[in-house]
A and B are shown apart, each in its own frame.
Chain A
Amino acid sequence: MTIHAKCYLMRISSAVVLTILCGMLPLTSLAQKADQELPLVIAGKLPLYPIMARAARVQGVVKIKVTTDGKKVTSIDVESGPPMLVKFAKENILTWEFTEHKPTTFVTTFEYIIEEPAQCDYSNDALTLKLPLEVRIIVKGLKTCDPSAEIKSHP
């Protein structure tokens, strides 16, 4: 086999591997939706960015496995995320109410994002909800804004 032929084959095989890998990513998340009927969320508290996390400038992704009994959440198991954010994500999930459904388990992702540039004051949250699987909360960063002193002239 010539060198050209070998290179060609390697390119082809790399492309095939990449295609399979890239294809698997959306398939994985779709699998959760396709394999099960997700419950309809009919009530719950707004999952605002916790003031504690904003004050601490903590952001990150929380993944929580939620189990329902056909009416309400019966258990929540943390899969990953900063403990500060986990606490608030769990609290929010516990406020969710569903229509009657077949008992199920699914993984919910809470994404807490602090955007730059930072501002001098707190701003309102921007929420994207794809319930019950995805919650994305975006806020502007916060910075101190301390003015210079009034200069007293020396005699």
Chain B
Amino acid sequence: MCAQSTARERGLSAHGDSIDKGVPGRGGARGEETAAGEGRALFTFDPGNVRAGRYNHLVLARSQIQEVFPLAACPWLAENSRLGFRLVGSTLHQGPQPFKYLNGVGDTTSVVWNSWPESLKAQQQTAQGLAAQIPGQVKTAIMNSVNASNAPSGADTTGGFHEEGGIAGTNTNGGLVISPATPGAYSSSGVVSTSLTPADPALAGSITNLTVSWHVHPDGRTASGDLAWNQAPSGQDQKVAAAEHQALPGLIHIVVGAGNKQVYFYNGSSTVLQMSLKKFMAGAQ
């Protein structure tokens, strides 16, 4: 059973407040806090203010959200997240009605991207909590980038010596947009890089809310079999993330180490969260 706790009870105001303040000592704001009571919906919502659209493509103005809850607290809600819902959501249900299982197309549940860095700074966020916010399709695109980095591309005739990456977000209708980048340049030593130039510029330009940016650190090896490239986010990655974090606090930066098969979340602060690629991909469609 999921214990009862509403955003309001956790000290969040209805409008404009950060929605990921964690409970000190209890781990991540999204990973461990509780949500709706059994058989109740503890969120109120004004359906009149909701833009029409597909259930999982609705994006709501922060001011429209009166209560929010982290889904991962309850197994069945986490399952929804696993199926492509993001971790923080709000519903169209009003009042003490039974909460409907979120089982796919046609459901009325909407989702919003959460702002995570505050709790990350406080070391309350978990990699699992962040991973659960990322839709399955985006995870699949990230995995595609890893595979593409391992495959030959241009001057990289063996694979493992160029970067791949991409971005994801939502468009004006709230629809999910995933925009892979063109492959980075071949490099065998020194510095490996990618300009993250969108493979489809029009697709990238249709994003109005950027939520995920990722790139892959390659799996290239030296003659002695050591990894040729650092797998964790570089100092420059951190520097860029810090600048972007200031303007886009909700943007999740991801580096995937194709060599050590680790996923790193970073935002320019000293904290880098990490999980295995296998766990990250668990449940991705």
Contacts and interface: CB of A to CB of B under 8 A. Distances in A.
Interface residues of A, number: 31
Interface string B218-241: 000010111111110010110110
Contacts of B197: 57
A141 B205 contact: no
Residue among A56, A83, A121, A148 having the largest count of chain B Cβ atoms under 10 Å:
A56
A26 interface: no
B208 A58 contact: no
Interface string B24-54: 0000000000000000000000000000000
Given A56-B207, A84-B208, A148-B229, A143 B224 contact: no
A121 B195 contact: no
A82 B171 CA distance: 11
A144 B193 contact: yes
A145 interface: yes
Interface string A49-82: 0111001111110000000000000000000001
A37 B65 CA distance: 45
A85 interface: yes
B205 A83 contact: yes
A154 interface: yes
A57 B171 CA distance: 16
Interface stretch (B139-147, B151-159, B242-250): B242-250
B68 interface: no
Interface in A79-97: 82-85, 87
Interface string A117-155: 010111000000000000000000111111111011110
B196 A57 contact: yes
A147 B237 CA distance: 11
B21 interface: no
Contacts of A55: 167, 210, 213, 244, 248, 251
B contact residues, range:
35 or more
Interface string B184-201: 100001111111111001
Contacts of B243: 51, 122
B244 A51 contact: yes
A84 B236 contact: no
Nearest to B243: A122
A50 B246 CA distance: 12
A82 B225 CA distance: 45
Contacts of A56: 167, 169, 179, 198, 204-205, 207, 210, 213
Contacts of A59: 201
B82 interface: no
B190 A148 contact: yes
26 contacts: A51-B246, A51-B248, A52-B210, A52-B248, A55-B244, A56-B210, A57-B195, A58-B207, A82-B201, A82-B205, A83-B171, A83-B207, A84-B206, A122-B240, A122-B243, A143-B194, A144-B196, A145-B234, A146-B230, A146-B236, A147-B229, A149-B226, A149-B228, A151-B222, A151-B224, A154-B224
Interface of A: 50-52, 55-60, 82-85, 87, 118, 120-122, 141-149, 151-154
- Cβ-closest 9 pairs across A and B: A82-B205, A51-B247, A143-B195, A145-B236, A118-B195, A146-B234, A143-B193, A58-B205, A144-B193
